[in-house]
């Protein structure tokens, strides 16, 4: 696994979707702590950035109503049964980096 710069300033205060080494990743700040999840619902493959929303610590897929905990990737509401991938994230040299 390798750290990849996202180009996003850690002082940013809203969620963003970025392509990191060919993977679409949603970067989500919660209470000043950044979290990184794959920008794709495990149920039907819809993206949170296009077909969903971030509500606090939840990523909600509006395609079918699945909901996930951004901090752990665990399923909070069905129909999804598989968690979503999460990634390590850190601030380094003024940008956010994701480990893939």
Q: Give pTM, 2 decimals.
A: 0.94
| Dihedral angle sign, alpha carbons of residues 87, 38, 48, 13 | positive
pLDDT given at position 44 = 92
What angle (nearest 5°) sits at the alpha carbon of residue 41, between those of residues 64 and 50?
80
Task: Select the CATH number that applies to the domain covering 3-99 from these four: 2.102.10.10, 3.30.470.30, 3.40.50.2300, 3.40.50.10610.
Answer: 2.102.10.10
Domain boundaries defined on the chain? 3-99
Q: pLDDT, tens digit, for every residue of 80-95?
A: 999 999 999 999 999 9
Asked whether the beta carbons of 85 and 38 are under 8 A apart, the reply is yes
């Amino acid at each position: 696994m390798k750290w990849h710069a996202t180009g996003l300033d850690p002082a940013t205060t809203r969620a963003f979707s970025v392509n990191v080494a060919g993977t679409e990743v949603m970067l989500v700040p919660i209470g000043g702590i950044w979290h990184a999840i794959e920008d794709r619902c495990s149920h039907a493959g819809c993206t949170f950035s296009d077909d969903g929303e971030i509500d606090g610590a939840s990523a909600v897929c509006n395609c079918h109503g699945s909901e996930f905990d951004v901090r752990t990737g665990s399923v909070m509401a069905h129909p999804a049964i598989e968690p979503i991938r999460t990634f390590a994230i850190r601030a380094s040299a003024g940008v956010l980096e994701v480990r893939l």
